[in-house]
Chains A and B, each alone.
Chain A
Amino acid sequence: MIEYRQISKTFDDGTQAVREFDLTIPSRTTTVFVGSSGCGKTTLLRMVNRMVDPSVGQVLIDDEDVATRNKVELRRSIGYVMQHAGLLPHRTVVDNVATVLRLNGVGKTQAHERALEVLTTVGLEESHARRYPSQLSGGQQQRVGVARGLAADPNILLMDEPFGAVDPIVREELQGELQRLQRELDKTIVFVTHDIDEAFALGDQIVILKKGGEIAQVGAPADILAAPADDFVRSFVGLDKATRTLRVEERDGRSLVVDGNGRATGVLA
């Protein structure tokens, strides 16, 4: 369980990224921070592994204040996946995945064995392992990034817009993979995105943020769609848009789902 208690963050240049933020993230679920740029979502994410320290307040992991933990050790115990994968360009794929294990003092052979295993888990072949990151496609690099985050088998996985830089088709594929992985691995995932569809696709708990880290609404996707807290949420999740306002029409004995523009988007199973 991750808890934010009365968190505020003012950066050196005076901008206040987050003000009096409170939230509990249950274990073994996926929580998604979603909001426009400048809402402090990445800042909040980076407080979990102390890449950012709050100006006021505490972040607790299983009731332990992260401020009392050694930064470097804390980071090694938490998986981190970022946009553009953030792989080390001078290390091969397998070395990149084995990074945290090696930092933790695991022997090279053993670390590589584990790295190859994780690469298979994220859907990459062994032939990719000896290449350099720049020799892979964006989607493949992102898979390597996920594999690196998972290699040391952390309880918590932080994902900062991990699929933001890949094209829509690959993004959907990676989202599907992440859902599958989460069913198998049962991690506590904190995910940051500006894409509400991605948030709904992946999140058990959605945290919609306004400017300055103010929470607009927290809840499961269904709760948010059923009862949006205010107009901001209503417009942010797109409830005013034709693509979200669906109705059912009978056609040739089947129930078609039709959107607000009258376009058929699916059938009721």
Chain B
Amino acid sequence: MTWAWENRELVLELFWRHAWLSAIPVVVGGLLAVPVGWFSHRNPRLRGGVLALVSLLYTVPSLPLLVILPLVIGTGFLSPLNVLIALTIYAVAIMARTANDAFGSVSPAVLDAARATGYAPARLAFTVELPLAGPVLLAGLRVVSVSTVSLVSIGALIGVSSLGSLFTDGYQRDFTTEIVVGIVATVVLALLFDAVLVLLGRLAMPWARSQRSVTPTQGRWAAFFTRGGVSAGGDAL
């Protein structure tokens, strides 16, 4: 504890660095994955290929990717851009499949009814399909956020400092306290990200909490999202 307090400025600085190194890939990756998921949901014949291709990105080991990226895109070896791009790729890899499922969870009957009332295709996609996919998208984004926060640490190995630097430094100096502080701070950051996402979800989707008529898959995700405050299955009467 004393070590953490004495070095609070360093820990805090690494904490904020870690925060924005995580936030950018989560946001950018999420934004990129949603259209990919929408596309694959819309084109069942291409779905398998698209999702397999995207998932394949996730199988690229992170450390080699971080080493190769500067060579491929011409950034400096120590540039944080390498970490940001690598993590965005991983975010897309995780999120695209969830986004596909999210659009699949939207009740076809509701979309049919919306079409019959006179929604034009673009308006239907943005004002009906997207918001109704929201709960599952959010659940996916929460997974991405936790995964990203933990992956940022790896950047420390190639000199992009973050809370991960506390691990590498503590390891080299055989100083356990520093490692523990790094772990605790990373967990706190991950929880903080998660709390922000849940809060944003509640504000943006007040209807999702009162949702009773959900499909089974939607129910599973929605239950994850509202922490079990949902009774899934069947139509509300």
Contacts and interface: CB of A to CB of B under 8 A. Distances in A.
Contacts of B132: 88-90
B165 to A, nearest CB: 43
B207 A89 contact: yes
A94 to B, nearest CB: 13
B109 A86 contact: yes
Contacts of B210: 131-132, 134-135
B118 A88 contact: no
Contacts of A185: none
B133 to A, nearest CB: 10
A148 interface: yes
B196 interface: no
A89 B211 contact: yes
A54 B197 CA distance: 47
Nearest to A91: B207
Interface in B96-120: 107, 109-110, 112-120
B217 interface: no
Contact of B116 (A82, A88, A91): A82
Contact of A80 (B116, B128, B213): B116
A190 to B, nearest CB: 13
B124 to A, nearest CB: 10
Contacts of B200: none
A132 B118 CA distance: 21
Given A86-B112, A90-B205, A100 B236 contact: no
A135 B114 CA distance: 20
A76 interface: yes
B218 to A, nearest CB: 10
B113 A89 contact: no
B131 interface: yes
B235 interface: yes
Interface string A71-84: 01101100010101
Interface residues of B, number: 27
A191 to B, nearest CB: 15
Contacts of A138: 235-237
Given A80-B116, A100-B117, A132-B207, A88 B110 contact: yes
A201 interface: no
Interface string A90-124: 11000000011001000000000000000000000
Contact of A88 (B114, B208, B235, B236): B114
Interface string B204-228: 0101101111000000000000000
A51 B237 contact: no
A36 to B, nearest CB: 21
Contact of A148 (B117, B120, B207, B213): B117
B118 A51 contact: no
A89 B211 CA distance: 8
A49 interface: yes
Interface in A51-75: 51, 72-73, 75
Nearest to B236: A134
Contacts of A72: 118-120
Nearest to B211: A134
Interface string B110-147: 10111111111001000010011010000000000000
A134 B219 CA distance: 14
A239 interface: no
Nearest to B119: A103
15 contacts: A51-B112, A72-B118, A75-B116, A75-B118, A76-B117, A76-B118, A82-B109, A86-B110, A88-B113, A89-B207, A89-B211, A103-B117, A103-B123, A134-B207, A165-B235
Interface of B: 107, 109-110, 112-120, 123, 128, 131-132, 134, 205, 207-208, 210-213, 235-237
Given A80-B116, A89-B213, A132-B210, 4 more contacts: A86-B110, A86-B112, A91-B207, A148-B117
Identify the 4 closest CB pairs spanning chains A and B, nearest first.
A86-B113, A76-B118, A138-B237, A75-B118
